Amino acid sequence: MTAEDSPPPHGDPPIPVAIRVLTAADVPAVVALYESLDAHDGYLRFFAAPPRDISILVSKLTTVDRGHAAIGAFDSGQLIGVANLVRLDDPGTAEVALVVRHDHQLHGIGSALLARLVKTARDRGIHTLVAEVLLENSTMLKVIAETGLRTRRRREGSATHIEIELGGEPEPEAHGHNRTPSR
């Protein structure tokens, strides 16, 4: 792991959260994380119960190729969050999804993962990230809003289809949201 992979100090005691690209070697840890989700978090992530054979999905998501990228957050070596993108038919767009282990939520980890995924997407020439977020998922809606990036939204049944434009820099007033994970 490089210094670039670790979040900067926060002012608190040393922060054991590191963020790095996931690969095939991380499949067992990602499967374990998804399998540990409670019913509600699983529903928010998958809009249904997680797929029965989650390892097939995870193998695809962690494949490092033109169509996929996955980023993991680690606390003392344990995987506590995953953000991934899957390129869509328009190669300039990709769908994004996040999950943070329940006992690590609301500490800035999802925001840090999304920030890193935005950088990865830009590096790959992706100009728009698409997220399907359930209307009730106020935390994820805030995490997206707090990037400060321009979004287009439309309601689709019980979810919001959000297109996040990566072309511009975050608005200056969004600075407070590029926070360092607090654990």
Ligand X SMILES: CC(C)(COP(=O)(O)OP(=O)(O)OC[C@H]1O[C@@H](n2cnc3c(N)ncnc32)[C@H](O)[C@@H]1OP(=O)(O)O)[C@@H](O)C(=O)NCCC(=O)NCCS
Residue whose CB is nearest to ligand X in the complex, by number: 110
Task: Select 59 or 139, whichever has its Cβ closest to ligand X.
Answer: 139
Place of tokens 């374990």: 32
**From 18, 21, 41, 60, residue interacting with ligand X (rule: CB under 6 A):** 41
Helix (H/G/I), strand (E/B), else coil: 173: helix
* Distance, CA of 6 to CA of 80 (rounded, Å): 14
153 CB-near residues (< 8 Å, 6+ apart) = 160, 161, 162, 163
| Residue span binding ligand X (CB under 6 A) among the ranges 19-27, 62-70, 101-109, 121-129 | 101-109
Contact pattern for ligand X over residues 134 through 163, marking x by CB under 6 A:
---x-xx-xx--------------------
What is the 8-class DSSP label of residue 65?
B
Q: How far is the CB of 136 from ligand X (least distance, A)?
A: 9
Strands (E) located in 88-157:
93-100, 128-134, 151-156
Q: How far is the CB of 67 from ligand X (least distance, A)?
A: 18
Residues 43-82 that bind ligand X (CB under 6 A): 44-45
Residue 21 identity (one-letter amino acid)? V
Does 98 help bind ligand X (rule: CB under 6 A)? Answer: yes
* Distance, CA of 76 to CA of 15 (rounded, Å): 9
* Distance, CA of 66 to CA of 64 (rounded, Å): 7
Task: Select 62 or 111, whichever has its Cβ closest to ligand X.
Answer: 111
The residues that touch ligand X, with contacts defined as CB under 6 A, are 41, 44-45, 97-100, 105-111, 131, 133, 137, 139-140, 142-143, 179-182
